[in-house]
């Protein structure tokens, strides 16, 4: 808490100086906001940052594409006692870890976040289960299976997770991410487990064996990706026929770049993504920004630039057309009822508990190629 104190002193002495000349101006502030880069950061810049700094001209926002390693970054910054990040975009599971370690700020939703336009408090307006102890959700994104329509005859296009696991009728290589989360769920789902039962089954050793046995059936056709940008690339190069991937990136490749991709919404894996607030140097300004950037209109605005669903119930009706393409964004939202028939909601508690063990086994399984 030393630093804000010093800053306060600095600010007050600056003000007393300015008082002499009787000019009122706020100290310029740089906010470092960490996010995922690429199309995602772009959507935040256009929906949040630009409109905000247009009003608040003493604020400058610096974008840092460090979200992929956000937890490691937060840990080392707080360990070194030099927190330079003001606001960080991260996944709820990592947010929970950081929160438990006390390196990010706990959130009092109704205090710190704007209510819905109709007065519903924030804690009720955000979708159920999305707010965390230290986590403010912005979007719902999903991991989906996508295929390149040119790799299959027009009369035999795949349409379900079952088809993804059916190499006989739908030949070709498949790309999946090089970690167990998502892949094991799909394996069980394709093996006939109902979405609601998946994590109960996966918590038993037999369930894990069953999931790996199912993955074994397509192993010879598998390619693995690590970074989100790889999956549309692999599909576009026709290196693979199917790839799992983030629906926003697939949307961009298909709609903006015109790639022949089709999303299979069956068994989409749904997760939140949102803000956490480290104990950075500009807390007052950050809280002000967060209050504004997570209100109903702002969350709906982000959906103009990327096909991720807003995390507030009150934002859903405001989702409209893509800002540049002019197409209706609603059919492309993971939360669109037509897409949301058989979702699997990612269970972060499960993955924090069993993640280490399953990651080891998954790595072993991959490396045994």
Partner 1 sequence: MTQSDGTHSGSDAGHMVNGQMVTVDGTPLKASLKRAERKRTLIAFLLVAPLLTYLLISFIFPIGQMMWRSVDNPQVVTTLPKTLEALDDWDGEGLPDEPVFEALAEELAIASANRTVGQLAVRLNYEISAARGALMRTSRSVEDFEPPYKEDFLDAHRLWNDPAFYRIIKREGNPLTASYYIAAFDGTYNEDGEVVLQDENRRIYIDLFIRTFAMSLGITLITLLLGFPISFLMASLPMRHANLLMIFVLLPFWTSLLVRTTSWIVLLQQQGVINELLIALGFIGDDGRLGMIYNMTGTIIAMTHILLPFMVLPLYSVMKTIPPSYVRAAKSLGATPWTAFWRVYVPQTLPGIGAGAVLVFIISIGYYITPALVGGQSGQMISNLIAHHMQTSLNWGLAAALGSVLLISVLILYWVYNRLVGADSLKLG
Judged by the rule CB under 8 A, the positions of this chain that interact with partner 1 are 68-69, 71-72, 75, 97, 99-102, 178-179, 212, 223-224, 226, 237-239, 349, 352-357, 359-361, 363-369
Integer distance in angstroms from the first to the last C-alpha of the chain? Answer: 52
Measured from the CB atom, the residue of 108 and 360 that comes closer to partner 1 is: 360
With beta carbons less than 8 A apart as the criterion, state whether 1 and 8 touch: no
Outline where the chain has alpha helix (H).
2-21, 38-44, 50-55, 70-80, 92-100, 109-112, 122-125, 161-164, 183-190, 198-202, 205-216, 230-236, 247-251, 283-293, 296-302, 348-367
Least distance from partner 1 to the Cβ atom of residue 290, Å: 21
Judged by beta carbon, residue 151 or residue 319, the one nearer partner 1 is 151
Check residue 115 and report its DSSP letter: P
Least gap, CB of 278 to partner 1 (angstroms): 14
Q: Minimum distance from CB of 65 to partner 1 (Å)?
A: 14
**Min. distance of Cβ 2 from partner 1 in angstroms?**
19
Report the nearest approach of partner 1 to the CB of residue 349 (Å).
6
Tell me if 31 sits within 8 A of 87, measured CB to CB: yes
Residue number with CB closer to partner 1 (97 or 136) = 97
Q: Which is nearer to partner 1, 100 or 110 (CB)?
A: 100
Nearer to partner 1, 65 or 357 (CB): 357
């Amino acid at each position: 808490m030393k630093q804000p104190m010093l800053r306060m002193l600095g600010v007050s002495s600056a003000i007393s100086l300015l008082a002499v000349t009787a000019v009122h101006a706020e100290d310029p502030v740089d906010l470092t906001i960490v996010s995922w880069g690429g199309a995602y950061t772009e959507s935040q810049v256009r929906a949040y940052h630009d409109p905000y700094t247009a009003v608040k001209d003493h604020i400058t926002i610096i974008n840092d594409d460090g979200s992929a390693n956000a937890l490691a970054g937060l840990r080392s910054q707080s360990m070194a006692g030099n927190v330079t990040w003001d606001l960080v975009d991260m996944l709820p599971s990592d947010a929970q870890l950081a929160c438990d370690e006390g390196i990010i700020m706990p959130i009092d939703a109704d205090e710190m976040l704007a209510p819905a336009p109709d007065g519903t408090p924030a804690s009720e307006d955000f979708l159920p289960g999305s707010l965390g102890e230290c986590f403010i959700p912005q979007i719902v994104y999903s991991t989906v299976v996508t295929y390149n329509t040119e790799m299959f005859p027009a009369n035999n296009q795949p349409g379900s997770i079952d088809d993804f696991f059916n190499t006989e009728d739908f030949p070709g290589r498949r790309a999946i991410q090089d970690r167990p989360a998502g892949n094991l769920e799909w394996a069980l789902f394709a093996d006939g487990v109902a979405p609601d039962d998946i994590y109960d089954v996966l918590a038993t050793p037999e369930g894990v064996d069953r999931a790996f046995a199912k993955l074994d059936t397509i192993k010879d056709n598998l390619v693995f990706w690590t970074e989100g940008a790889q999956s549309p690339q692999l599909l576009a190069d026709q290196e693979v026929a199917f790839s799992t991937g983030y629906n926003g990136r697939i949307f961009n490749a298909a709609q903006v770049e015109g790639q022949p991709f089709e999303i299979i919404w069956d068994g989409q894996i749904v997760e939140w993504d949102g803000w956490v607030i480290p104990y950075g140097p500009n807390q007052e300004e950050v809280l002000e920004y967060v209050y504004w950037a997570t209100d109903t209109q702002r969350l709906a605005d982000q959906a103009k630039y990327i096909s991720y669903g807003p995390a507030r119930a009150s934002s859903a009706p405001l989702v409209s057309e893509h800002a540049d393409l002019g197409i209706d964004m609603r059919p492309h939202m993971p939360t669109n009822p037509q897409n949301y028939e058989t979702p699997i909601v990612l269970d972060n508690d499960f993955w924090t508990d069993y993640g280490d063990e399953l990651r080891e086994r998954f790595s072993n399984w991959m490396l045994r190629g």
